[in-house]
Amino acid sequence: MSKPVLQSSPVNHADFKELFRNLTAVFDSGKTRDLAWRRAQLNAVKKMMSECEAELFAALKADLGKSASESFMTETSYVSADAAYSAKNLNRWTRKRRVSTPVFGQPGQSWIQPEPLGIVLVIGAWNYPVQLTLAGMSAAIAAGNCVVIKPSELAPATSALLARLLPKYLDPDCVKVVEGSVPETTALLDLPFDHILYTGGGNVGRIVMAAAAKHLTPVTLELGGKSPCVVLPDANLETTARRIAWGKFTNAGQTCIAPDYLLTDTDTEALLVPLLEKCIREMFGDDPQKSDSYGRMVNDRHFQRVSAFIASGHTVIGGQLDAADKYIAPTVITDVAPDSAVMREEIFGPVLPIVRADNLEEAIALIRSGDKPLSAYIFTNNKRAERKFLEQVSSGNACVNDVMMFMTVHELPFGGVGPSGMGAYSGKRGFETFSHMKAVMKRGWWPDLALRYAPYTDKKLNLLRKIR
């Protein structure tokens, strides 16, 4: 049996090929197809989230400064609930799905039969290094696949912990963990996986897709983008401010579905800014740097990148920086031009720009002038405005009168559109993503109509026209 954890550089490509051969042999044995095996693995994921909670919280604190409550809410409880949901529905999802058979196919039966793809590579992300690694893994396991996990090296404490825990809780013959950085990821991408799930930025997403194309490997890409948040004057502004502040500043803004920028008119902005300031103070105190509930930037490079965005507008809330602590205060900037630096790329940090839009039409036009976002948000009591926004703004996910909460609904697929990603997973959609929906038809022996066989005649053609 190959080692479940491969250490970092120097990369020995022979080790990766051996790992892949071993997984192929295990998959071919049929071990992962067994529903009892799948259910046991999913239950083990849930058990690991509970029994190792303190260790997971400590690793997330070390990597991102996350509080225990935030780690529970956005990481461990999500993974646990997701695995439990899949385990509960496994029998239903794996059943044959019968479809009707036309007259010409009679006597016969037709159905769709889900089957596992084979070996799945899950390349995790650093911003939610537990959730965005293990949720994809659980979906692949639910579908009956072997899995290779590549945690993000930018969250080293969490990566090391997952590498230690996963072989203890999950079947080490079927689930492997590979730690490392670019060399290890590059070596893995040389292998002919049956599916690849990557969560991260668009530039690396293109590299993953290009590598997958060499083997015609399907990919699911979760790539983020600039998720807009429109606030109309009729919204309940106190609740709106509280929900936006929570969504934007959770994990210090390092969330792919966080509201990236806010669109509203001048009068609404004047009312909303003091409410945002009040909510930030209620959540993180007068000095968020001293709050146990407020996180840090993942590294110095991201600190410098996000800090530079503050100059794109007029700072009305926050703006304090501490490079040594990788701390950026919850910050709101106004007077932001649509073509400013902060509007040209995903912020992925605790800086919220407000861009003026006099009405919904103007806001929609600005959103549509850029790439399709991963998420889109609108706050309004106007049903017509809500409908117009949902119909005219294309996004991977959308939420009305809140942010990010669609993630709590396991029945909803999670995925991007256009540059914000392709494919989706979560719940049943995750099972389907990592399954092949095989089309099957079974024919009876009699009658075996001569109608379809040559020689063809006008009489046969006329009969065909009548029964098709």
Q: What is the pLDDT of residue 247?
A: 97
CATH 3.40.50.620 fits 228-409, yes or no: no
Number of CB atoms found within 10 A of residue 324's CB: 7
Secondary structure class of 14 (helix, strand, coil): helix
Determine the pLDDT at residue 10. Answer: 57
- List of residues 6+ apart from 84 with CB closer than 8 A: 42, 43, 46
8-state DSSP, 299: S
Spatial neighbors of 88 by CB under 8 A, at least 6 apart, are none
Helices (H), 65-116: 68-71, 77-94
For the chain, the first-to-last Cα distance in angstroms comes to 55
Whether residue 70 lies in the annotated active site: no
Gap between the Cα atoms of 299 and 107, Å rounded: 65
pLDDT at 11: 63
Catalytic residue (one of 146, 256, 279, 399): 256
Catalytic residue among 70, 75, 184, 222: 222
Indicate if 432 belongs to the active site.
no
Question: Nearest to residue 143, comparing CAs of 345, 399, 427, 356?
Answer: 427
At residue 464, the pLDDT reads 85
Residue 164, classed as helix, strand or coil, is helix
In degrees and rounded to multiples of 5, residue 181 shows phi and psi of: -130, -135
At 53, the amino acid letter reads E
Phi/psi at 437 (5° precision)? -90, 90
pTM: 0.93
Provide the pLDDT for residue 467: 80
**Residues of the chain predicted below pLDDT 50:** 1-4, 8-9
Tokens of 179: 């730690």
- For 52-69, the pLDDT digits (tens) are 999 999 999 999 999 999
CB atoms within 10 A of CB 34: 11
Q: Report pLDDT for 177.
A: 97
What would the pLDDT profile of 91-109 be if each residue is shown by its tens digit? 999 999 999 999 888 999 9
Map residue 22 onto helix, strand or coil. helix
**Domains of the chain, residue spans:** 5-223+419-440, 228-409
**Comparing C-alpha atoms, which of 358, 330, 316 is closest to residue 231?**
358
Domain 5-223+419-440 matching CATH 3.40.605.10: the answer reads yes
Provide the pLDDT for residue 291: 97
> What is the DSSP track for 361-383?
HHHHHHHHTSPPPSEEEEE-S-H
